Amino acid sequence: MGSIGSMNKPENGFLTALIQFPVPIVNSRADIDKQIESIVRTLHATKAGYPGLELIVFPEYSTQGLNTAKWLTEEFLCDVPGPETDTFGQACKEAGVYGVFSIMERNPDPTKNPYNTAIIIDPNGEICLKYRKLFPWNPIEPWYPGDLGMPVCDGPAGSKLAVCICHDGMIPELAREAAYKGCNVYIRISGYSTQVNEQWILTNRSNAWHNLMYTLAVNLAGYDNVFYYFGEGQITNYDGTVLVQGHRNPWEIVTGEVFPCQADQARRSWGLENNIYNLGHRGYVALPGGESDAGLTYIKDLAAGKYKLPWEDEMKIKDGSIYGYPTTGGRFGQ
């Protein structure tokens, strides 16, 4: 499988397209409206060029951009659902595709900062998954920590889809949570600049391998007068090998065939390296059924609300003051 020739629906699988959307330069609500028009236009054009497409993925920040001077203002925020998601829903319905979109979502509690949200819309135009970023990219991002957990939904060709956002992909426990809930295609939408390009590639692969699931990952591309965003759309097989790798080009479309049934088969039939099973069934050869408690201190401490690193009191940066954010909590940047 690969980008060459991938334009029709494969048997027992689906065709996906990851859009290396140019990093938006957004200074006003009118600019956001232009971005929405561009996303819709791109969705329809991509479907026309690849008639077998069933899943189209747009990166983080592709709707509202990364204007840090304004990204917390009411003018720049959206609701989910709202007029913007209705527009995306209509486009998905007209094209007959699943779409993944990025929204900076107004917090229903006006005393708290907004959420960084991803949605999946189905071919009927309905939101079938809503996810709020659990791990904002501290200390840069001011988003409120997500409160919806790691949801999973049905997708094309028997897939079970989950979405993480950018820095979430650096947290292996999130990928494991998605897989534990049945996800076999883990989508990562990002707005990373080049500081973590290599780590992006590495974690997309490790998240796939550790959990025997496909990963589909795409980043913004281009220069926004501050940072360069690396693109690098990536489709990774459930064994951790890269199937398709994009480059740094804005507007590059990374396409590939995905076969969820093969990931499912590996999970059910592999003996060696079935690590997501082994985690809860240690030593099952010697002990029938295996040992379920690995005695992992950090998991117990997380559950008890007592997570603390041995060096935590010595850490230099534990708030957003380096980027000028207040340290008092509550809603700011309005």
List the catalytic residues: 60, 133, 166
**Phi and psi (nearest 5°) for 262?**
-75, -40
Amino acid at 52: G
SS3 for 98? Answer: strand
* Those residues with Cβ within 8 angstroms of residue 131's Cβ, 6 or more apart along the chain or in another chain: 117, 118, 119, 146, 148, 150, 151, 162, 163, 164, 165
Cβ atoms of residues 190 and 59 within 8 Å:
yes
| Distances in whole angstroms, Cα of residue 212 to Cα of each of 72, 143, 224, 263 | 38, 31, 36, 6
282: β partners: 291
CA distance 140 to 166: 13
Closest CA to 48 of 102, 11, 88, 91: 91
- 296 CA to centre of own chain: 27
